Amino acid sequence: MRSARLVQVGAKDLSPLRFDLGNRTESQIPGVLASQGPSFLLFCHNTPMTTADALVDWFEGHARSLPWRTEPRDAYRTLVSEIMLQQTQVDRVAPRFVEFVRRWPDLKALAAASEDDVLAIWSGLGYYRRARLLHRLAREVVGSGRNQLPEDIEALRTLPGIGDYTAAAVGSLAFGLEAPVLDGNVQRVVARVTASDGDPRASGGQTRMKAWVRKLFPGHHPGVVNEALMELGATVCTPSRPRCDSCPLLRCCKGYQAGCPEEYPPPRKVRATEHLRWVAVCFVGSDGRWLLRRVQEGPILRGLWLPPLADLEAEADPVSVAMGLVPEGLMVETGTMFGAVRHHITHRRIEVIPVLVPTLDADLPAAVWQWSRPGEVLGGTSSLFEKLHKVIRNNEKDS
Ligand code: SF4
Protein backbone atom coordinates (compact mmCIF):
# COMPACT_ATOMS: atom_id res chain seq x y z
CA MET A 1 0.00 0.00 0.00
CA ARG A 2 1.39 3.45 -0.91
CA SER A 3 0.39 6.89 0.24
CA ALA A 4 1.07 10.53 -0.54
CA ARG A 5 1.38 13.25 2.08
CA LEU A 6 -0.37 16.46 1.14
CA VAL A 7 0.13 19.90 2.70
CA GLN A 8 -2.36 22.71 2.19
CA VAL A 9 -0.70 25.93 1.04
CA GLY A 10 -1.00 28.65 3.69
CA ALA A 11 -2.40 26.29 6.31
CA LYS A 12 -1.42 27.18 9.89
CA ASP A 13 -1.09 23.53 10.79
CA LEU A 14 1.59 22.13 8.50
CA SER A 15 1.10 18.52 9.53
CA PRO A 16 0.62 16.62 6.31
CA LEU A 17 -2.60 14.83 5.48
CA ARG A 18 -1.99 11.28 4.39
CA PHE A 19 -3.70 10.23 1.19
CA ASP A 20 -3.93 6.67 -0.03
CA LEU A 21 -2.64 6.37 -3.60
CA GLY A 22 -3.99 2.87 -4.03
CA ASN A 23 -2.82 1.36 -7.31
CA ARG A 24 -2.41 4.66 -9.14
CA THR A 25 0.69 5.05 -11.29
CA GLU A 26 3.17 7.95 -11.02
CA SER A 27 1.56 9.64 -14.02
CA GLN A 28 -1.80 9.65 -12.22
CA ILE A 29 -0.50 11.52 -9.15
CA PRO A 30 -1.19 15.03 -10.55
CA GLY A 31 -4.80 13.93 -10.86
CA VAL A 32 -4.79 12.95 -7.19
CA LEU A 33 -3.54 16.41 -6.26
CA ALA A 34 -6.12 18.12 -8.45
CA SER A 35 -8.88 16.10 -6.80
CA GLN A 36 -7.86 17.58 -3.44
CA GLY A 37 -8.33 21.17 -4.68
CA PRO A 38 -5.89 23.74 -6.07
CA SER A 39 -4.26 24.64 -2.76
CA PHE A 40 -2.64 21.28 -1.97
CA LEU A 41 1.02 20.47 -2.55
CA LEU A 42 2.46 17.00 -2.72
CA PHE A 43 4.79 16.68 0.26
CA CYS A 44 6.20 13.32 -0.59
CA HIS A 45 4.86 10.17 -2.06
CA ASN A 46 5.47 6.47 -2.27
CA THR A 47 5.47 6.31 1.55
CA PRO A 48 4.34 2.89 2.75
CA MET A 49 1.09 3.27 4.67
CA THR A 50 1.01 0.77 7.47
CA THR A 51 -2.11 -0.75 8.94
CA ALA A 52 -1.60 1.43 12.01
CA ASP A 53 -1.24 4.58 9.85
CA ALA A 54 -4.49 3.80 8.07
CA LEU A 55 -6.28 3.11 11.34
CA VAL A 56 -5.05 6.24 13.12
CA ASP A 57 -5.74 8.45 10.09
CA TRP A 58 -9.26 7.10 9.94
CA PHE A 59 -9.78 7.73 13.66
CA GLU A 60 -8.57 11.31 13.39
CA GLY A 61 -11.20 11.96 10.75
CA HIS A 62 -14.08 9.91 12.18
CA ALA A 63 -13.90 9.87 15.98
CA ARG A 64 -17.21 10.74 17.60
CA SER A 65 -17.22 13.82 19.78
CA LEU A 66 -17.73 12.47 23.31
CA PRO A 67 -17.48 14.35 26.61
CA TRP A 68 -14.50 12.31 27.90
CA ARG A 69 -12.50 12.84 24.69
CA THR A 70 -10.96 16.11 25.79
CA GLU A 71 -7.27 16.87 25.45
CA PRO A 72 -5.06 16.51 27.33
CA ARG A 73 -6.53 13.24 28.52
CA ASP A 74 -7.16 13.23 32.24
CA ALA A 75 -6.70 9.90 34.03
CA TYR A 76 -9.61 10.40 36.44
CA ARG A 77 -12.07 11.32 33.69
CA THR A 78 -10.81 8.38 31.62
CA LEU A 79 -11.35 6.05 34.56
CA VAL A 80 -14.89 7.30 35.23
CA SER A 81 -15.87 7.02 31.56
CA GLU A 82 -14.39 3.53 31.16
CA ILE A 83 -16.17 2.23 34.25
CA MET A 84 -19.47 3.78 33.20
CA LEU A 85 -19.12 2.38 29.68
CA GLN A 86 -18.78 -1.21 30.89
CA GLN A 87 -21.92 -2.93 29.58
CA THR A 88 -23.69 0.40 29.14
CA GLN A 89 -24.33 2.27 25.91
CA VAL A 90 -22.56 5.52 25.06
CA ASP A 91 -25.72 7.62 24.77
CA ARG A 92 -26.84 6.58 28.25
CA VAL A 93 -23.42 7.19 29.74
CA ALA A 94 -22.68 10.64 28.22
CA PRO A 95 -25.13 12.77 30.29
CA ARG A 96 -24.36 10.85 33.50
CA PHE A 97 -20.64 11.26 32.92
CA VAL A 98 -21.00 15.03 32.50
CA GLU A 99 -23.04 15.28 35.71
CA PHE A 100 -20.66 12.99 37.61
CA VAL A 101 -17.43 14.85 36.79
CA ARG A 102 -19.08 18.24 37.24
CA ARG A 103 -20.06 17.23 40.76
CA TRP A 104 -16.84 15.38 41.58
CA PRO A 105 -14.11 16.69 39.26
CA ASP A 106 -11.30 14.63 40.77
CA LEU A 107 -10.53 11.68 43.03
CA LYS A 108 -10.31 13.88 46.12
CA ALA A 109 -13.81 15.26 45.59
CA LEU A 110 -15.20 11.78 44.90
CA ALA A 111 -13.55 10.38 48.03
CA ALA A 112 -15.33 13.02 50.11
CA ALA A 113 -18.76 12.14 48.64
CA SER A 114 -21.22 9.86 50.41
CA GLU A 115 -21.96 6.48 48.84
CA ASP A 116 -25.64 7.40 48.71
CA ASP A 117 -24.89 10.48 46.59
CA VAL A 118 -22.68 8.46 44.23
CA LEU A 119 -25.38 5.80 43.81
CA ALA A 120 -27.99 8.51 43.21
CA ILE A 121 -26.05 9.99 40.27
CA TRP A 122 -25.46 6.47 38.99
CA SER A 123 -29.21 5.70 38.99
CA GLY A 124 -30.30 4.37 35.62
CA LEU A 125 -26.86 3.13 34.58
CA GLY A 126 -27.33 -0.19 36.40
CA TYR A 127 -24.54 -2.46 37.66
CA TYR A 128 -24.27 -0.41 40.86
CA ARG A 129 -21.36 -2.46 42.10
CA ARG A 130 -19.24 -0.43 39.65
CA ALA A 131 -20.22 2.80 41.41
CA ARG A 132 -19.48 1.40 44.84
CA LEU A 133 -16.06 0.14 43.75
CA LEU A 134 -15.20 3.43 42.03
CA HIS A 135 -16.07 5.28 45.22
CA ARG A 136 -14.00 2.84 47.27
CA LEU A 137 -11.09 3.29 44.84
CA ALA A 138 -11.20 7.08 45.31
CA ARG A 139 -11.16 6.69 49.09
CA GLU A 140 -8.30 4.21 48.95
CA VAL A 141 -6.11 6.36 46.68
CA VAL A 142 -6.83 9.59 48.57
CA GLY A 143 -6.50 7.78 51.91
CA SER A 144 -2.99 6.71 50.91
CA GLY A 145 -2.10 10.38 50.42
CA ARG A 146 -1.65 10.26 46.63
CA ASN A 147 -4.76 11.96 45.15
CA GLN A 148 -3.72 10.76 41.66
CA LEU A 149 -3.95 7.42 39.89
CA PRO A 150 -0.64 5.55 39.54
CA GLU A 151 1.04 5.65 36.11
CA ASP A 152 1.67 1.93 36.12
CA ILE A 153 -0.49 -0.93 34.83
CA GLU A 154 0.24 -3.32 37.70
CA ALA A 155 -0.37 -0.63 40.32
CA LEU A 156 -3.64 0.31 38.62
CA ARG A 157 -4.74 -3.32 38.67
CA THR A 158 -4.43 -3.50 42.45
CA LEU A 159 -7.14 -0.82 42.89
CA PRO A 160 -10.81 -1.71 43.59
CA GLY A 161 -12.86 -2.35 40.46
CA ILE A 162 -9.89 -2.20 38.06
CA GLY A 163 -9.17 -5.33 36.05
CA ASP A 164 -6.99 -5.94 33.00
CA TYR A 165 -9.26 -4.03 30.67
CA THR A 166 -9.68 -0.85 32.72
CA ALA A 167 -6.00 -0.76 33.71
CA ALA A 168 -4.99 -0.99 30.04
CA ALA A 169 -7.53 1.64 29.00
CA VAL A 170 -6.51 4.19 31.64
CA GLY A 171 -2.81 3.37 31.27
CA SER A 172 -2.74 3.74 27.49
CA LEU A 173 -5.24 6.57 26.97
CA ALA A 174 -4.13 8.78 29.85
CA PHE A 175 -0.48 7.83 30.34
CA GLY A 176 0.57 6.50 26.91
CA LEU A 177 1.54 3.08 28.30
CA GLU A 178 1.85 0.28 25.74
CA ALA A 179 -1.05 -1.86 26.96
CA PRO A 180 -3.52 -3.34 24.45
CA VAL A 181 -7.18 -2.85 25.35
CA LEU A 182 -9.34 -5.82 24.43
CA ASP A 183 -12.97 -4.87 24.85
CA GLY A 184 -15.68 -6.70 22.92
CA ASN A 185 -15.40 -4.28 19.99
CA VAL A 186 -11.64 -4.72 19.67
CA GLN A 187 -11.90 -8.49 19.99
CA ARG A 188 -14.36 -8.53 17.10
CA VAL A 189 -12.18 -6.33 14.88
CA VAL A 190 -9.03 -8.34 15.56
CA ALA A 191 -10.81 -11.70 15.14
CA ARG A 192 -12.09 -10.57 11.75
CA VAL A 193 -8.86 -8.98 10.53
CA THR A 194 -6.91 -12.08 11.46
CA ALA A 195 -9.76 -14.51 10.58
CA SER A 196 -9.24 -16.18 13.93
CA ASP A 197 -11.86 -18.78 14.79
CA GLY A 198 -10.54 -19.37 18.32
CA ASP A 199 -12.41 -18.11 21.37
CA PRO A 200 -11.26 -14.48 21.83
CA ARG A 201 -12.11 -14.70 25.53
CA ALA A 202 -9.87 -17.73 26.19
CA SER A 203 -6.39 -16.95 27.46
CA GLY A 204 -4.67 -18.18 24.27
CA GLY A 205 -6.92 -16.00 22.13
CA GLN A 206 -6.30 -12.99 24.36
CA THR A 207 -2.54 -13.44 24.13
CA ARG A 208 -2.63 -13.63 20.32
CA MET A 209 -4.88 -10.60 20.03
CA LYS A 210 -2.76 -8.51 22.36
CA ALA A 211 0.32 -9.41 20.32
CA TRP A 212 -1.46 -8.26 17.14
CA VAL A 213 -2.48 -4.94 18.71
CA ARG A 214 1.04 -4.38 20.08
CA LYS A 215 2.40 -4.50 16.55
CA LEU A 216 0.37 -1.35 15.78
CA PHE A 217 1.94 0.71 18.58
CA PRO A 218 5.38 1.68 17.15
CA GLY A 219 5.23 5.25 15.85
CA HIS A 220 1.79 5.93 17.36
CA HIS A 221 0.31 6.85 20.72
CA PRO A 222 -0.87 3.50 22.18
CA GLY A 223 -4.01 5.14 23.56
CA VAL A 224 -4.94 6.45 20.13
CA VAL A 225 -4.42 3.02 18.56
CA ASN A 226 -6.56 1.38 21.26
CA GLU A 227 -9.28 3.99 21.01
CA ALA A 228 -9.27 3.82 17.20
CA LEU A 229 -9.83 0.05 17.33
CA MET A 230 -12.63 0.48 19.87
CA GLU A 231 -14.24 3.17 17.73
CA LEU A 232 -13.91 1.07 14.59
CA GLY A 233 -15.64 -1.85 16.30
CA ALA A 234 -18.39 0.39 17.67
CA THR A 235 -19.19 2.25 14.46
CA VAL A 236 -17.93 0.31 11.41
CA CYS A 237 -17.02 -3.28 12.25
CA THR A 238 -20.34 -3.86 13.99
CA PRO A 239 -21.52 -7.35 15.05
CA SER A 240 -23.90 -7.65 12.11
CA ARG A 241 -23.47 -6.00 8.73
CA PRO A 242 -19.98 -4.50 9.12
CA ARG A 243 -19.45 -1.57 6.76
CA CYS A 244 -16.33 -2.98 5.17
CA ASP A 245 -16.38 -0.48 2.29
CA SER A 246 -15.76 2.31 4.81
CA CYS A 247 -13.13 0.44 6.82
CA PRO A 248 -9.47 1.52 6.95
CA LEU A 249 -8.45 -2.10 7.56
CA LEU A 250 -10.19 -3.47 4.48
CA ARG A 251 -6.99 -4.29 2.62
CA CYS A 252 -5.50 -6.42 5.37
CA CYS A 253 -8.72 -7.98 6.66
CA LYS A 254 -8.64 -11.74 6.18
CA GLY A 255 -12.26 -12.12 7.29
CA TYR A 256 -13.33 -9.74 4.57
CA GLN A 257 -11.11 -11.46 2.03
CA ALA A 258 -12.70 -14.80 2.96
CA GLY A 259 -16.10 -13.25 2.24
CA CYS A 260 -17.53 -14.05 5.66
CA PRO A 261 -16.38 -11.42 8.20
CA GLU A 262 -19.49 -11.88 10.33
CA GLU A 263 -18.47 -15.44 11.13
CA TYR A 264 -15.67 -14.09 13.32
CA PRO A 265 -15.38 -14.39 16.24
CA PRO A 266 -17.37 -17.61 16.81
CA PRO A 267 -20.53 -17.11 18.87
CA ARG A 268 -20.04 -17.25 22.62
CA LYS A 269 -21.79 -19.79 24.78
CA VAL A 270 -24.90 -18.16 26.20
CA ARG A 271 -25.10 -17.96 29.98
CA ALA A 272 -28.14 -19.82 31.29
CA THR A 273 -31.06 -17.57 32.15
CA GLU A 274 -32.07 -17.58 35.81
CA HIS A 275 -35.78 -17.13 36.56
CA LEU A 276 -36.69 -15.54 39.88
CA ARG A 277 -39.99 -14.67 41.52
CA TRP A 278 -40.27 -11.94 44.12
CA VAL A 279 -42.94 -10.17 46.08
CA ALA A 280 -42.60 -6.38 46.45
CA VAL A 281 -44.37 -4.88 49.45
CA CYS A 282 -45.66 -1.45 48.43
CA PHE A 283 -46.26 0.35 51.74
CA VAL A 284 -47.97 3.57 50.63
CA GLY A 285 -48.71 6.35 53.12
CA SER A 286 -51.72 8.67 53.12
CA ASP A 287 -49.70 11.37 51.28
CA GLY A 288 -48.75 8.96 48.46
CA ARG A 289 -45.16 8.45 49.56
CA TRP A 290 -43.78 4.90 49.58
CA LEU A 291 -41.78 3.28 52.32
CA LEU A 292 -38.44 2.18 50.90
CA ARG A 293 -35.89 -0.10 52.49
CA ARG A 294 -32.21 -0.16 51.72
CA VAL A 295 -31.30 -3.55 50.21
CA GLN A 296 -28.63 -4.90 52.53
CA GLU A 297 -28.03 -8.41 51.30
CA GLY A 298 -27.89 -10.53 48.15
CA PRO A 299 -25.82 -10.40 44.96
CA ILE A 300 -27.99 -7.80 43.16
CA LEU A 301 -29.49 -4.37 43.96
CA ARG A 302 -27.47 -4.13 47.18
CA GLY A 303 -27.29 -0.61 48.60
CA LEU A 304 -30.30 0.63 46.60
CA TRP A 305 -33.57 1.96 48.05
CA LEU A 306 -36.62 -0.09 47.03
CA PRO A 307 -39.91 -1.34 48.44
CA PRO A 308 -39.17 -4.40 50.60
CA LEU A 309 -38.58 -7.48 48.43
CA ALA A 310 -38.67 -11.18 49.23
CA ASP A 311 -38.33 -14.43 47.32
CA LEU A 312 -41.65 -16.07 46.50
CA GLU A 313 -41.95 -19.84 46.39
CA ALA A 314 -44.24 -21.27 43.70
CA GLU A 315 -46.99 -22.23 46.16
CA ALA A 316 -46.68 -19.23 48.46
CA ASP A 317 -49.45 -16.62 48.82
CA PRO A 318 -47.96 -13.20 47.92
CA VAL A 319 -50.21 -11.28 50.33
CA SER A 320 -49.27 -13.53 53.26
CA VAL A 321 -45.59 -13.20 52.46
CA ALA A 322 -45.97 -9.41 52.17
CA MET A 323 -47.75 -9.10 55.50
CA GLY A 324 -44.92 -11.03 57.10
CA LEU A 325 -42.57 -8.21 56.08
CA VAL A 326 -44.39 -5.40 57.92
CA PRO A 327 -41.78 -3.70 60.10
CA GLU A 328 -42.43 -3.33 63.79
CA GLY A 329 -44.29 -0.13 64.69
CA LEU A 330 -46.00 0.32 61.31
CA MET A 331 -49.85 0.49 61.26
CA VAL A 332 -51.10 -1.14 58.07
CA GLU A 333 -54.28 -2.24 56.33
CA THR A 334 -54.68 -5.57 54.53
CA GLY A 335 -52.62 -6.00 51.39
CA THR A 336 -53.92 -6.25 47.81
CA MET A 337 -52.07 -8.09 45.07
CA PHE A 338 -51.55 -6.57 41.59
CA GLY A 339 -50.37 -7.90 38.23
CA ALA A 340 -46.73 -8.96 37.94
CA VAL A 341 -43.95 -6.61 36.83
CA ARG A 342 -41.11 -8.00 34.69
CA HIS A 343 -37.61 -6.89 35.54
CA HIS A 344 -34.30 -7.98 33.98
CA ILE A 345 -30.89 -7.82 35.60
CA THR A 346 -28.11 -9.28 33.41
CA HIS A 347 -29.06 -12.95 32.88
CA ARG A 348 -31.80 -12.88 35.49
CA ARG A 349 -35.48 -12.64 34.52
CA ILE A 350 -37.47 -11.58 37.54
CA GLU A 351 -41.21 -11.69 37.98
CA VAL A 352 -42.14 -9.23 40.72
CA ILE A 353 -45.62 -9.40 42.30
CA PRO A 354 -46.60 -6.06 43.85
CA VAL A 355 -48.73 -6.12 47.00
CA LEU A 356 -50.17 -2.73 47.93
CA VAL A 357 -50.33 -2.21 51.69
CA PRO A 358 -51.88 1.16 52.69
CA THR A 359 -50.23 2.40 55.84
CA LEU A 360 -49.96 5.27 58.30
CA ASP A 361 -46.70 7.19 58.40
CA ALA A 362 -44.32 6.06 61.10
CA ASP A 363 -40.79 6.92 62.13
CA LEU A 364 -38.46 4.05 61.30
CA PRO A 365 -34.64 3.89 61.52
CA ALA A 366 -33.32 6.29 58.81
CA ALA A 367 -30.30 4.12 58.03
CA VAL A 368 -32.62 1.44 56.65
CA TRP A 369 -35.93 3.15 55.81
CA GLN A 370 -37.10 6.28 54.01
CA TRP A 371 -40.44 7.60 52.73
CA SER A 372 -40.20 8.76 49.13
CA ARG A 373 -41.56 8.97 45.61
CA PRO A 374 -39.88 8.13 42.27
CA GLY A 375 -37.51 10.97 41.37
CA GLU A 376 -37.14 12.05 45.02
CA VAL A 377 -35.22 9.10 46.46
CA LEU A 378 -32.25 10.05 48.64
CA GLY A 379 -29.55 7.63 47.46
CA GLY A 380 -29.67 5.21 44.55
CA THR A 381 -32.72 3.32 43.42
CA SER A 382 -33.58 1.01 40.54
CA SER A 383 -36.00 1.39 37.64
CA LEU A 384 -37.95 -1.38 39.39
CA PHE A 385 -39.34 1.24 41.81
CA GLU A 386 -40.73 3.30 38.90
CA LYS A 387 -42.26 0.15 37.34
CA LEU A 388 -44.01 -0.84 40.58
CA HIS A 389 -45.20 2.72 41.15
CA LYS A 390 -46.65 2.80 37.64
CA VAL A 391 -48.60 -0.43 38.10
CA ILE A 392 -50.20 0.75 41.36
CA ARG A 393 -50.90 4.26 40.01
CA ASN A 394 -52.54 2.89 36.84
CA ASN A 395 -54.73 0.55 38.87
CA GLU A 396 -55.79 3.39 41.16
CA LYS A 397 -56.83 5.41 38.09
CA ASP A 398 -58.84 2.46 36.74
CA SER A 399 -60.66 1.82 40.03
S1 SF4 B 1 -12.94 -4.97 6.61
FE2 SF4 B 1 -14.96 -5.36 7.44
S3 SF4 B 1 -14.72 -7.15 8.74
FE4 SF4 B 1 -12.68 -6.37 8.32
S5 SF4 B 1 -12.23 -5.05 10.08
FE6 SF4 B 1 -13.10 -3.75 8.48
S7 SF4 B 1 -15.30 -3.68 8.90
FE8 SF4 B 1 -14.42 -5.38 10.06
Q: Would the CA dihedral through 280, 286, 289, 291 be positive or negative?
A: negative
Q: From ligand 1's centre to the CA of 18, what distance in Å?
A: 21
Residue nearest to atom 4 of ligand 1 (CA): 253
Model confidence at 67, pLDDT cuts 50, 70, 90, reads: very high
115: Cβ–Cβ under 8 A, 6 or more apart, which residues?
A: 132, 135, 303
From the list 60, 71, 82, 274, the catalytic residue is 82
**Ligand 1 pocket, residues with Cβ under 6 angstroms:** 189, 192-193, 236-237, 242, 244, 247, 249-250, 253, 255-256, 261
42 band by pLDDT with thresholds 50, 70 and 90: very low
Residue among 282, 275, 329, 330 nearest 308 (CA): 282
Confidence (pLDDT) at 34: 57
pLDDT of residue 381: 86
Contacts of 213 (CB under 8 A, 6+ apart): 180, 181, 182, 186, 190, 225, 226, 229
**Which residue among 58, 62, 240, 256 has the greatest number of ligand 1 atoms within 8 angstroms of its CB, and so is best to mutate?**
256
pLDDT tens digit string along 224-282? Answer: 999 999 999 999 999 999 999 999 999 999 999 988 899 999 887 778 899 999 999 99
93 touches 345 (CB < 8 A): no
Q: For position 44, what pLDDT does the model report?
A: 41
Mean pLDDT for the chain overall: 88
Statement: 75-263 belongs to CATH 3.30.450.40: no
The DSSP 8-state label assigned to residue 250 in this structure reads G
More confident of the two residues 40 and 304: 304
Among 192, 230, 241, 251, the mutation site with the greatest number of ligand 1 atoms within 8 A of its Cβ is 192
Q: What is the pLDDT of residue 266?
A: 86
Residue type, 86: Q
Which pLDDT belongs to residue 235? 97
Give 260 or 99, the one with higher predicted confidence.
99
Do residues 359 and 283 touch, judged by C-beta distance below 8 A? yes
Sign of CA dihedral 175, 181, 183, 188: positive
Give the model's confidence band at 31: pLDDT under 50 very low, under 70 low, under 90 confident, else very high. low
Minimum-distance ligand 1 atom for the alpha carbon of 247: 6
Q: State the distance from the centre of ligand 1 to the C-alpha of 193, rounded, in angstroms.
A: 7
Examine the residue annotation and report whether 82 is marked as an active-site residue of this protein. Answer: yes
- Report how far Cα 229 is from the mean position of its chain's Cα atoms: 16
* pLDDT 10s digits, 244-253: 999 999 999 9
Locate the ligand 1 atom nearest the alpha carbon of residue 242 and give its number: 7
- Pocket of ligand 1, candidates 194, 209, 244: which has the most ligand atoms within 8 Å of its Cβ, to mutate? 244
* Contact predicate 20/49, CB 8 Å: yes
Residue with the smallest CA separation from ligand 1 atom 8 is 237
- Cα separation values, 228 from 19, 62, 105, 295, Å: 18, 9, 26, 40
Q: Could you give the angle at which helices 164-175 and 222-235 cross, rounded to 10 degrees? A: 120
In three-state secondary structure terms, 112 is helix
List the chain domain ranges: 2-48, 75-263, 274-398
CA distance linking residue 248 with residue 27, whole number of Å? 25
Which atom, in ligand 1's list, is nearest to the CA of 246? Answer: 7
pLDDT at 271: 80
CA-262 nearest atom, ligand 1: 3
Report pLDDT for 15.
43
**Hey, do 75-263 and 274-398 end up sharing a CATH topology, with the first three levels equal?**
no
Q: How confident is the model at residue 33 (pLDDT cuts 50, 70, 90)?
A: low
Task: List, in sequence order, every residue forming a beta bridge with 327; answer none if it has no partner.
Answer: none
CA distance 170 to 168: 6
Q: For residue 295, which of 309, 279, 281 has the smallest C-alpha distance?
A: 309
Residue 207 burial (CB count, 10 A) = 10
Quote the pLDDT of residue 25: 53
pLDDT digits (tens, 9 = 90+) for 101-122: 999 999 999 999 999 999 999 9
- Taking the centre of ligand 1 as the mean of its atom positions, its distance from the CA of residue 268, in whole angstroms, is 20
Strand partners, 311: 278
Distance 252 CA to ligand 1 centre (A): 9
Q: Give residue 17's pLDDT.
A: 54
**pLDDT score recorded for residue 323:** 95
- Indicate the SS3 state at residue 355: strand
In tens, the pLDDT along 193-215 reads 999 888 888 888 899 999 999 99
Residue 11, pLDDT score: 45
State the architecture of 274-398 in CATH terms: Alpha-Beta Complex (3.90)
Give the distance (Å) from ligand 1 centre to CA of residue 155: 35
Task: Report the pLDDT value the prediction gives residue 30, as an integer from 0 to 100.
Answer: 55
How far does residue 237's CA lie from ligand 1's centre (Å)? 5
| Spatial separation of the C-alpha atoms in residues 298 and 295, rounded to whole Å | 8
